[in-house]
Amino acid sequence: MARRKTKEVYLMPEPKWASIHTQQTEEDKQKLLRNFEYFVHYEVADKKCSNTIIPWLEKDSGLDPELIKMLKKVPDVWFSSFAKYTFIWHKTNGFMHPDVKEHLLGKIPQLIDKAEEIIEEKEAKAVDKPKISIQQRMHEQVEGLLGNWEGNIDDLQMGKFDLKKFDPFNEMRAYAGGVIKPNHAKIIKDGFAVPYAEALEVLEWKDEDIKEAYDFMDLKARKAFVEIYEKIIAACDTMILTGKATRKTRKPKQVSKEKQVSKLKFQINDSTLGIASVNPAEVIDATEIWVYNTKTRKVGVYVVDDLKAGILVKGTTLQDFHPTKSVQKTLRKPAEQIKNWTGNAKTKFGKAFKELTTTDTKMNGRFNDTTIILKAF
């Protein structure tokens, strides 16, 4: 149901807007317009007045459409001196005193300058705004966590951190609502590779520079120093491997039957024998296919391999048919015999084939332009 349009409620009586068109003298018009302006000033919301500016620009200002397009980019506040007059223009169905119109149009150049300024600022921002790569964005997403862990490492060196409670894997999972994924974990692992290598040197305790830099750490502290890095790296490896294990395998794109047989050669029909090929797409996934070669006069059957679900086609050749059960025999009188391989009775095809006394030979799977596809079951 359409919503009923609500009537405006004002404290003072609403002017009779259409009466402006019946005023005979300039003095009467000016007086009435002052009443209109007084009413609009006290009773009509600024937003409602502003909504009439663009319609006036488009319908009554006489400005070029391209200029109006520019002016639409200027905020309403810059048109505040227009709004009262354009609202009156709207309510009076198009009346605006010539002096008012001239006054408003005189302000247009200043507004165009403002529009050009706004456009230039937007273009400058678009040029100056650097494009952030995916890698940079991922680095930014883990910066906070890395900062936390680096603080933990500093506290550990000072003996102020409980390593047993440190669980970097769960911290990664919980960080920022689960933002960290396997690719983030790889970035984190790579980021700690160099300090981890230095920690191993600290534990080894052979380099003189290392001894001087870490002389405040005893053996227990040095072992803990290595352990915290190993925990972080192990957590990263766990997240990376978990991602691989749960990654969805992309399903191969399904190729239509028509496309699979698009290169398959066959003979459409043989008017002499009154036979025609079935749609070659029926060959796909069939378990039994009967064919007739109009050149060699051989009728044959392709039977699906015992380990396959159905016969397939690659180029001009059948695949996944049984190598020994797929055989052919010569018809001595094709015009009389070929009718035995018509219709839809699968048993009829097989029985007629068994009754042939000619020698059977194996099929090679290749179709050509003399191959009639009699039936695909």
User: What DSSP line would sit under 342-356, residue for residue?
Assistant: -SS-HHHHHHHHHH-
The domain boundary residue, chosen from 182, 217, 246: 246
Q: Is residue 129 part of a domain?
A: no
What is the per-residue pLDDT across 41-92, written as a single tens digit (0 to 9) for each?
A: 888 888 888 888 899 999 998 888 888 888 888 887 788 788 889 999 999 8
What does each C-alpha distance from 257 to 118, 130, 171, 320 come to in angstroms?
58, 49, 51, 16
Yes or no: say if 299 and 353 are a contact pair by the CB < 8 Å rule.
Answer: yes
Query: Which of 195, 188, 278, 202 has the alpha carbon at shortest distance from 233?
Result: 188
3-state secondary structure of 109: helix
pTM given for the model: 0.41
Judge if 52 and 153 occupy the same domain: no
- If pLDDT is split at 50, 70 and 90, which confidence band does 3 have? very low
CA 316, distance to chain mean position in Å, is 37
Yes or no: say if 291 and 299 are a contact pair by the CB < 8 Å rule.
Answer: yes
Total domains, the chain: 3
Distance CA 241, CA 27 (A): 88
Domain that holds residue 367: 257-376
Judge if 93 and 198 occupy the same domain: no
Judge if 267 and 367 occupy the same domain: yes
Q: Is residue 11 part of a domain?
A: no
Judge if 191 and 288 occupy the same domain: no
Q: Is the pLDDT of residue 333 over 80?
A: yes
What is the per-residue pLDDT across 28-37, written as a single tens digit (0 to 9) for each?
A: 989 998 999 8
Query: Which of 352, 373, 369 has the alpha carbon at shortest distance from 276?
Result: 373
Q: Is the pLDDT of residue 140 over 90?
A: no
Token digits of residue 185: 């974990």
List, in order, residues 6 or more apart from 276 with CB less than 8 Å away.
Answer: 268, 269, 270, 372
Q: Is the pLDDT of residue 249 over 80?
A: no
Q: Is residue 7 part of a domain?
A: no
Judge if 265 and 371 occupy the same domain: yes
Q: Is residue 6 part of a domain?
A: no
Q: Is the pLDDT of residue 7 over 70?
A: no
Give the mean model confidence (pLDDT) for residues 233-247.
83
Q: Is the pLDDT of residue 284 over 70?
A: yes
In whole numbers, what is the pLDDT of the chain averaged over residues? Answer: 86
Q: What is the pLDDT of residue 318?
A: 86
List, in order, residues 6 or more apart from 328 with CB less than 8 Å away.
Answer: 291, 293, 298, 299, 300, 301, 360, 361, 362, 363
Yes or no: say if 261 and 313 are a contact pair by the CB < 8 Å rule.
Answer: yes
List, in order, residues 6 or more apart from 43 with CB less than 8 Å away.
Answer: 10, 11, 12, 14
Give the mean model confidence (pLDDT) for residues 251-272.
83
Give the mean model confidence (pLDDT) for residues 275-293.
88
Residue with tokens 């669980």: 167
Q: At residue 345, what are phi and psi to the nearest 5 degrees?
A: -85, 110
Judge if 371 and 262 occupy the same domain: yes
Yes or no: say if 192 and 232 are a contact pair by the CB < 8 Å rule.
Answer: yes
Give the mean model confidence (pLDDT) for residues 359-370.
89
Q: What is the pLDDT of residue 130?
A: 66
Poorest-confidence range of 108-122, 128-142, 262-276?
A: 128-142
Q: What is the pLDDT of residue 128?
A: 57
3-state secondary structure of 227: helix
Judge if 73 and 98 occupy the same domain: yes
Q: Is residue 357 part of a domain?
A: yes
Judge if 298 and 371 occupy the same domain: yes
Judge if 273 and 343 occupy the same domain: yes
Q: Is residue 203 part of a domain?
A: yes
Q: Is residue 10 part of a domain?
A: no
The domain boundary residue, chosen from 216, 246, 276: 246
Judge if 69 and 149 occupy the same domain: no
Helix (H) / strand (E) containing 57? helix 53-59
Judge if 236 and 285 occupy the same domain: no
Judge if 103 and 65 occupy the same domain: yes
The domain boundary residue, chosen from 211, 246, 281: 246
Angle at 234 between CA 233 and CA 238, to 5 degrees: 120
Q: Is residue 301 part of a domain?
A: yes
Yes or no: say if 302 and 329 are a contact pair by the CB < 8 Å rule.
Answer: no
Question: Exposed/middle/buried for 377, CB within 10 Å: 0-12, 13-18, 19+?
Answer: middle
DSSP state at residue 376:
E
